[in-house]
Amino acid sequence: MTRLFNEPSAFADEMIEGFAASHGRWVKRVSGGVVRNTKSTPDTVALVIGGGSGHYPAFAGLVGQGLAHGAAMGNLFASPSAQQVYNVAKAANNGAGVLLGYGNYAGDVLHFNQAQDRLRKEGIDCRSIAVTDDVSSAPLAERAKRRGIAGDLTVFKVAAAAAEAGHSMDRIMDIAERANDRTRSFGVAFTGCTLPGADHPLFSVPEGRMAVGMGIHGEPGIGETDIPTADELAELLVSKLLTEVPEGLETKGARVVPILNGLGSIKYEELFVVYRRVAQLLAGAGLEPVDPQVGELVTSFDMAGTSLTLFWLDDELETLWNAPADAPAFRRGAVAAEALDASDGSELADVELSIPDATEESRAGAVRVLAALGAAKAVVDANADELGRIDAIAGDGDHGIGMERGVRAAVDAARDAVARGAGAATTLHFAADAWADKAGGTSGALWGMALRAVGDAVGDTEAPDAGAVAAGVAGAAAAIMDFGKAKPGDKTLVDVLVPFRDALAAGVEAGKSLTDAWGAAATVAQQAAEDTAALLPLMGRARPHAEKSLGTADAGAVSMALIVRAVHNTLIEQTAIKEKA
């Protein structure tokens, strides 16, 4: 378990602060993560990597000469927000564009793509590579759906070396995609990991058993077996990976980089015992290991587990893999001495957003928005542990923590906006950006979209009425389904949002007040959330473990139903106050 922390919700921020303070030779902190604190060659492509915190050395430990130019760091097991990715990319840009590298997780894809779109609109050439090395997360025919685990390192390393060599963005993309196509990983776990402040692990493995095919966010494995000997484990890992030799290659005479990665609490000595047999098996298959890596490269707090990665080389990839690098957690060769000189220390400054003019009616509406967000915060705080428990059944268990971080940030932003005289739309927009930024992950992106859509509909000039609010909810549903591609029946929050939208619209069209229409729709939402227990997940991290979630409601659906009911309670209170007045 994680023993040393202060406030669990502050763990990631405090960790980043300490990392930057202790590794100033390599990195400096910027809003959203870290970038190199050394000089980079002007007019070369910058590689910005990232993902959730909790996986050190990934991702901040890979920032330095010959490796990444920056790392966007989300909260624990949650993707960085689009704002964080954008901030880091802007700070890391050398003038020739930015390549974004990340694992293929729904939240990362959403946020990095949003940041990419924003950078492109500013005229910055921005591309992305989503690593898909985990063979257990999807069949070979659906490789594009696979998640990225320890194979992140191989793709990031060769792409960074190509950027350091001054190659064009097109060439670097070709290299990164070829490296991804030639990287395969497979892992196991003996125990789950425990997040700071949690009193139980995200998942557990029965005593004497081993989970096969686990993910680095605590996703349950796809199967279980008795704990093998070290040699038997090596045989399992190697035999599985050799069933997926990249197309067009043969094992005999092939050169591969083997990476035996520890997930957090497996000792290095144990890994060496396993690698002894891995090396024998690779040689027996006719493979030639190149620069084996044995140790912790992508971890998961205190998870007891390991994974094996095979990176199938060609001449160019081998040259780039062996190129010099100097990062906190990965070093080889000697980089140019002048490159190690500290940069000028300049960072992007946070800019205080201005408050647009608003009418008195809209400012009064902003106060009601703040009350609704406060009610959302209260209900999320009260149910965070249960939301995490539900999410951990087939996902990574961070939904409660992520919702807490997001709604707390939204309330703080809304309170500041109201104090500065903002209207309803601006208050919702500030809250939306804060929720997405601080929560990260898929839910952070989606709730940010939802609040922004409602803000767009109500505006800053009129008192928010039932019609405008219903239009805003409809806009939220459209934006979320368009961006996340989920639809009713996929076992996501959309299964609550769509029937809630329809019931609210019907009530408003029938002439009901906002309070009454919302209350009826909230009842529909609650039933819809309960009904997700009978569904199998077709989206997100729970998809590979669909059968595990059967009989349990979706965490995102439950949290949405709780929030809309809590908001209804504030509407009742506000109606009562008006009637007394």
* Paired tokens of 231: 């040699």
Torsion of CA 446, 448, 451, 454, to 10 degrees: -70
Q: Which residue's entry shows tokens 């100033």?
A: 24
Phi, psi of 187 (to 5 degrees): -135, 170
CB 404 within 8 A of CB 384: yes
Q: How far apart are CA 369 and CA 574, in angstroms?
A: 11
Q: How far is CA 63 from CA 325, 332, 390, 476, in A?
A: 10, 14, 35, 37
**Helix (H) or strand (E) run with residue 20 in it:** helix 11-22
Q: How far apart are CA 578 and CA 501, in angstroms?
A: 26
**Helix (H) or strand (E) run with residue 189 in it:** strand 183-191
Q: How far apart are CA 413 and CA 83, in angstroms?
A: 15
Q: How far apart are CA 504 and CA 517, in angstroms?
A: 5
CB 167 within 8 A of CB 94: no
* Paired tokens of 186: 């497979």
Of 131, 175, 149, 154, nearest in space to 290 by CA: 154
DSSP annotation string for 492-548:
STHHHHHHHHHHHHHHHHTT--HHHHHHHHHHHHHHHHHHGGGSPP-SSTTGGGHHH
**Helix (H) or strand (E) run with residue 376 in it:** helix 360-392
Establish whether 23 is a catalytic residue: no
Q: How far apart are CA 479 and CA 14, in angstroms?
A: 34
Which residues neighbour 531 within 8 Å (Cβ) at sequence distance 6 or greater?
495
DSSP 402: H
Mapping DSSP onto H, E and C, the string for 302-319 reads: CEEEEEEEEEECCHHHHH
**Set 111, 217, 429, 545: catalytic member:** 217
Q: How far is CA 415 from CA 151, 372, 373, 420, 426, in A?
A: 43, 12, 10, 9, 11
Please state the separation of Cα 141 from the chain's center in Å. 24
Q: How far apart are CA 102 and CA 489, in angstroms?
A: 28
Q: How far apart are CA 355 and CA 272, in angstroms?
A: 59
Q: Are strands 325-327 and 330-332 parallel, antiparallel or unpaired?
A: antiparallel
Q: Specify the 3-state DSSP secondary structure of 372.
A: helix
Q: Please give the positions annotated as active site.
A: 217
